[in-house]
Chains A and B, each alone.
Chain A
Amino acid sequence: MNIKLRKVIGDLQINPGRMLLVIIALIIGLWGVGSILVSYTILSHDLNENFARTNPLHAAITSKDFNRLDLTALRNRYEIEKAEFRDFATLRIETHSDEWIPLWLFGVEDFNNFNLARIFDKKGDSRPMAPTDGAMLIERDGLRFSDLKAGSTSRIRSGGRVVDVSVAGISFDPAQSPGTQDHLIYAYVNKKTYSEITGEAANQRLIIRFKNVKSKKEVQAAADGLVHYFKSLGIAADTVKIPKFMEHPHQWQLNTLLFMEGSIGFLAFFLGAVLVSQLMAAILARQIRQIGILKAIGASRYQVFQIYLAMVLFLGVISGAIAIPLAIKFGYGYAYFVADILNFEVLTTSLPHQIYLFLIAASLLLPVLLSLPAILKGTRIAVREALGDYGIQQEAGVNKSQITDKLPLPRNFVLAFKNTMRRKKRLVITVAAMALGVAIFNTGFNVQQSLKDLLGDVNNSMKHDVQVVLINQMPKEEALKYFSGIDNISRIETWNGGRGGMQSMVVSTDAGVGIIALPYDSKLLAFRSTKGRWLSGANEPEIAMNQEAAELYNHPAIGTYHTLSVRGNQFKAKLVGIVEELEKPKIYMDKGQYDTFANPNHYINSLMFVAKDKSYEKVLALKKDIERAIEPTNLQVLYVMMQAERVKIIYDHLKIIFVTIVFFALLVLVVSAIGMASAMSINIMERTREIGVLRAIGATPKIIYSLFVAEGMTVSVISIFLGLLLSSPLSIIASKFFGNLMLEVELHFSFSKIGFAITVIATLIFGWLASRIPAQRAIKVSTREALTYE
Chain B
Amino acid sequence: MSNLIQFDNVSRWFESTSVRFDALKNIDLHIEQEKHVAIVGKSGSGKSTLLNMLTGIDHPSTGTVKINSTDVHTLNESSLAEWRGRNIGIVFQFFQLIPTLTVEENILLAMDFVNVIPNRERTERAKALLAQVGIAQHADKLPADLSGGEQQRAAIARALANDPPILVADEPTGNLDSKTSEIILNLFTELVETGKTVIVVTHEKVSNTEYDRIITLKDGAIVGDASRN
Contact = CB atoms under 8 A, between A and B. Distances in A.
Nearest to A13: B100
A429 interface: no
Interface stretch (A4-12, A323-331, A481-489, A620-628): A4-12
B81 A6 contact: no
A570 B12 CA distance: 100
Contacts of B52: 384
A296 B161 CA distance: 13
Contacts of B161: 297
B29 interface: no
A769 interface: no
Contact of A298 (B77, B81, B96, B101): B81
Nearest to A381: B77
Given A6-B105, A383-B57, A298 B162 contact: yes
Nearest to A4: B112
Interface string B145-161: 00000000000001101
Interface in A1-57: 3-4, 6-7, 9-11, 13-14
Nearest to B78: A300
A31 B161 CA distance: 46
A299 interface: yes
Q: Interface SS of chain A: helix, strand, loop or mixed?
A: helix
A289 B94 CA distance: 12
B100 A10 contact: yes
Interface stretch (B82-90, B129-137, B179-187): B82-90
A7 B57 contact: no
A644 interface: no
Nearest to B109: A3
B98 A295 contact: no
A298 B85 contact: yes
A382 interface: yes
Nearest to B79: A300
Interface in A576-633: none
A294 B161 CA distance: 13
A11 B100 contact: yes
A283 to B, nearest CB: 13
Interface in B60-101: 77-78, 80-82, 84-86, 90, 92, 96, 98-101
Nearest to B87: A298
B108 interface: yes
B13 interface: no
Interface string B137-180: 00000000000000000000011011000000000000000000
A301 interface: yes
Given A299-B113, A387-B57, A3 B100 contact: no
Contact of B101 (A6, A300, A302, A382): A6
Nearest to A294: B113
B58 A297 contact: no
B98 A298 contact: no
Given A298-B113, A383-B57, A14 B100 contact: yes
A7 B109 contact: yes
Contacts of A301: 77-78, 81
A787 to B, nearest CB: 15
Interface residues of B, number: 31
A14 B85 CA distance: 27
A7 B100 contact: yes
A293 B82 contact: no
A290 interface: yes
Interface in B186-225: none
B88 to A, nearest CB: 9
Interface string B105-119: 100111011100000
Nearest to B56: A383
Nearest to A397: B17
A299 B77 CA distance: 10
Contacts of A383: 56-57, 77, 80
A302 B81 CA distance: 11
Contacts of A13: 100
Contacts of A290: 98
Given A297-B158, A299-B113, A384-B52, A3 B101 contact: yes
B45 interface: no
B82 to A, nearest CB: 6
B6 interface: no
A303 interface: yes
Contacts of B162: 298
Contacts of B90: 296-297
A9 B109 CA distance: 14
A296 B92 CA distance: 10
B144 to A, nearest CB: 11
Contacts of A303: 81, 113
B58 A384 contact: yes
Given A296-B55, A296-B90, A301-B78, A7 B113 contact: no
A142 B109 CA distance: 71
A568 B90 CA distance: 102
Q: Which of A3, A293, A301 has the most CB of B within 10 A?
A: A3
Contacts of B105: 3, 6
Nearest to A396: B16
Contact of B100 (A6, A289, A302, A382): A6
Given A10-B100, A293-B96, A299-B113, A384 B57 contact: yes
B116 to A, nearest CB: 9
A414 B82 CA distance: 50
A4 B109 contact: yes
Given A4-B112, A384-B52, A384-B58, A300 B82 contact: yes
Given A4-B112, A7-B109, A384-B58, A300 B100 contact: no
Contacts of A296: 55, 57, 84, 90, 92, 96
A3 B81 CA distance: 19
A383 B83 CA distance: 14
Contacts of A10: 98-101
B91 to A, nearest CB: 10
A296 B90 CA distance: 7
Of residues B57, B85, B105, B158, which shows the largest number of chain A Cβ atoms within 10 Å of its Cβ? B57
A337 to B, nearest CB: 45
A314 to B, nearest CB: 14
B77 A382 contact: yes
A14 B101 CA distance: 12
A401 to B, nearest CB: 23
A303 B114 CA distance: 10
Contacts of A294: 98, 109, 113
The residue among A13, A14, A387 with the most chain B CB atoms within 10 A of its own CB is A387
Interface of B: 52, 55-58, 77-78, 80-82, 84-86, 90, 92, 96, 98-101, 105, 108-110, 112-114, 158-159, 161-162
17 contacts: A3-B108, A3-B112, A4-B112, A6-B100, A7-B109, A9-B100, A10-B98, A293-B92, A294-B109, A295-B77, A296-B90, A297-B109, A297-B161, A302-B78, A383-B56, A383-B80, A384-B52
Given A3-B112, A297-B90, 5 more contacts: A3-B109, A13-B100, A297-B158, A300-B78, A382-B77
User: What are the 5 tightest A-B residue pairs by CB atom distance, in nearest-first order?
Assistant: A298-B85, A10-B100, A298-B114, A299-B113, A298-B113
